[in-house]
């Protein structure tokens, strides 16, 4: 997507054809800095230290990490070493495993001397597929925004939670893809950006993406969305999904459920944008999804830019106070107006999903 009018992706092959570029997302929104990955170890560090985050981008970085590793050693042992190393970078990331296994299965059957070139084209293909998938989600979601605009003939107010933007994928994003498509289509927009405590991905990343793209937006405390809906100041909600059950329950960033409740209470359409790869076809009850409890420090401390420009970590609670940090929640399908997938928009139900994905029936 665009940063001050120039097109970027979140990851790219550098012009030398041998190294890979990324944006250091830990420095956003205060500093925009790109980093050149020279080795598989650099890719591991980028994933582990969260210079890149978001399941699709982690997968893409791992794919390029295999390419970087094979340039050092393209033997069977070299391939094995780089795959093991990358898989250990963030052990719970499903897309990371998926991307590494895809690379391995393509490359293992080739003679070592062909592996570097093949890894380059396979990583590039994986990224290209991610871009096309997200662009398709954007096109599908655009129809929902267009419909609202044609009816209301005024700027459309969209609320989003967390960051499901292009920074989380290779390009376009999921929840933000329809917004970028609507901007391109000339529809006037205004986005309410939930700051998304405790890690503030809304304030840090979504606000930055929208500012860079020149899309009108306001940052709000996570507490605000409910009353904004009561006041009629939200036309629709679009959020992402980390995992979706075959019955349409949505596991997403903590706080999503509260916004879905408010949307239902105020008859505001609540959409979830997701690539079908996040659908767990074996699971029907969202409450069966184990919810990660993350470190207390994420709640007790806040990162930000001090007046002298330095990035500081400040404590917001008393020394004796402990915290609890659920990373995700589950929004039951009954609160979801529709799922925006690459194949179309469907009801959040088994029947709705099977209409779009009959091969899963």
For this structure, is 249 an active site residue? no
Among 207, 238, 272, 336, binds a second copy (CB under 8 A): 207
Among 6, 111, 113, 320, binds a second copy (CB under 8 A): 320
CB under 8 A, 24+ apart: contacts of 108-112: 108/76, 108/79, 112/74, 112/75, 112/76, 112/78
Q: Write out the two tokens for 220.
A: 């709000």
Indicate whether 15 belongs to the interface with a second copy (CB under 8 A).
no
Nearest alpha-carbon partner for 241 in 311, 137, 154, 124: 137
Indicate whether 300 belongs to the interface with a second copy (CB under 8 A).
yes
* CA distance readout (Å), 270 to 20, 235, 293, 329, 333: 37, 9, 26, 16, 11
Among 197, 213, 250, 342, binds a second copy (CB under 8 A): 197
Q: Write out the two tokens for 30.
A: 């205060």
Pairing of strands 270-273, 243-245: unpaired
Count the residues of the shown chain that bind a second copy, applying the rule CB under 8 A: 65
- Minimum CB distance to a second copy, residue 187 (Å): 20
Q: Write out the two tokens for 315.
A: 């404590």
Indicate whether 29 belongs to the interface with a second copy (CB under 8 A).
yes
Nearest alpha-carbon partner for 333 in 276, 284, 278: 284
Indicate whether 49 belongs to the interface with a second copy (CB under 8 A).
no
Indicate whether 6 belongs to the interface with a second copy (CB under 8 A).
no
CB within 8 Å of 141: residues ≥ 6 apart: 177, 178, 179, 181, 238, 271, 273, 340, 345
Per annotation, catalytic residue among 171, 222, 235, 242 = 242
Indicate whether 218 belongs to the interface with a second copy (CB under 8 A).
yes
Please tell me what DSSP assigns to residue 155: P
Among 265, 285, 297, 351, binds a second copy (CB under 8 A): 265
Taking the least distance from each CB to a second copy, the nearer of 246 and 300 is 300
Among 138, 165, 255, 338, binds a second copy (CB under 8 A): 255
Indicate whether 224 belongs to the interface with a second copy (CB under 8 A).
yes
Give the C-alpha separation, 137 to 172, whole Å: 9
Question: 244, 274 in Cβ contact below 8 A?
Answer: yes
- Minimum CB distance to a second copy, residue 290 (Å): 11
Strand, coil or helix: what is 214? Answer: coil
Sign for the CA dihedral angle at 334, 337, 343, 344 comes to positive
Indicate whether 71 belongs to the interface with a second copy (CB under 8 A).
no
Indicate whether 301 belongs to the interface with a second copy (CB under 8 A).
yes
Among 10, 196, 244, 278, binds a second copy (CB under 8 A): 196
Taking the least distance from each CB to a second copy, the nearer of 106 and 336 is 336
Residues that bind a second copy (CB under 8 A): 29-30, 192-193, 195-198, 200, 203-204, 207-208, 210-211, 217-228, 230, 253-255, 257-259, 261-262, 265, 287, 291, 299-307, 312-318, 320-326, 328-330
Active site residues: 242
């Amino acid at each position: 997507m665009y940063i001050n009018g120039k097109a970027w992706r979140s990851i790219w092959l550098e012009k030398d054809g041998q190294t890979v570029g990324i944006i250091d997302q830990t420095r956003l929104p205060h500093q925009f800095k790109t980093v050149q990955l020279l080795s598989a170890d650099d890719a591991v560090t980028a994933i582990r230290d969260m210079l890149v985050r978001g399941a699709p981008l982690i997968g893409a970085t791992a794919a390029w990490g295999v390419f970087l590793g094979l340039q050092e050693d393209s033997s069977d042992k070299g391939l094995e070493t780089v795959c093991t190393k990358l898989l250990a970078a963030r052990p719970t990331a499903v897309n990371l495993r998926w991307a590494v296994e895809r690379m391995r299965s393509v490359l293992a059957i080739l003679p070592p001397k062909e592996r570097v070139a093949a890894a380059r084209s396979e990583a590039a293909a994986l990224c290209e597929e991610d871009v096309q998938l997200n662009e398709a989600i954007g096109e599908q979601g655009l129809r929902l925004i267009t419909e609202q605009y044609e009816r209301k003939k005024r700027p459309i107010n969209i609320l989003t939670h967390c960051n499901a933007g292009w920074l989380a994928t290779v390009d376009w994003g999921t929840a933000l893809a329809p917004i970028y498509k609507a901007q391109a289509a000339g529809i006037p927009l205004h986005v309410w950006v939930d700051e998304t405590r405790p890690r503030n991905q809304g304030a840090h990343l979504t606000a930055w993406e929208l500012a860079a793209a020149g899309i009108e937006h306001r940052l709000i405390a996570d507490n605000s969305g409910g009353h904004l809906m009561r006041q009629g100041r939200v036309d629709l909600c679009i959020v992402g999904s980390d995992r979706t059950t075959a019955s349409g329950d949505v596991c997403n960033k903590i706080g999503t459920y509260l916004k879905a409740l408010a949307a239902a209470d105020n008859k505001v359409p609540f959409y979830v944008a997701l690539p079908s790869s996040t659908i767990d076809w074996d699971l029907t009850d969202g409450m069966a999804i184990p919810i990660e409890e993350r470190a207390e420090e994420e709640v007790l401390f806040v990162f930000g830019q001090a007046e002298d420009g330095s990035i500081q970590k400040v404590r917001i609670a008393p020394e004796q106070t402990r915290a609890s940090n659920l990373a995700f929640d589950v929004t039951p399908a009954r609160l979801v107006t529709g799922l925006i997938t690459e194949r179309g928009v469907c009801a959040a139900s088994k029947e709705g999903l099977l209409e779009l994905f009959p091969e899963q029936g």
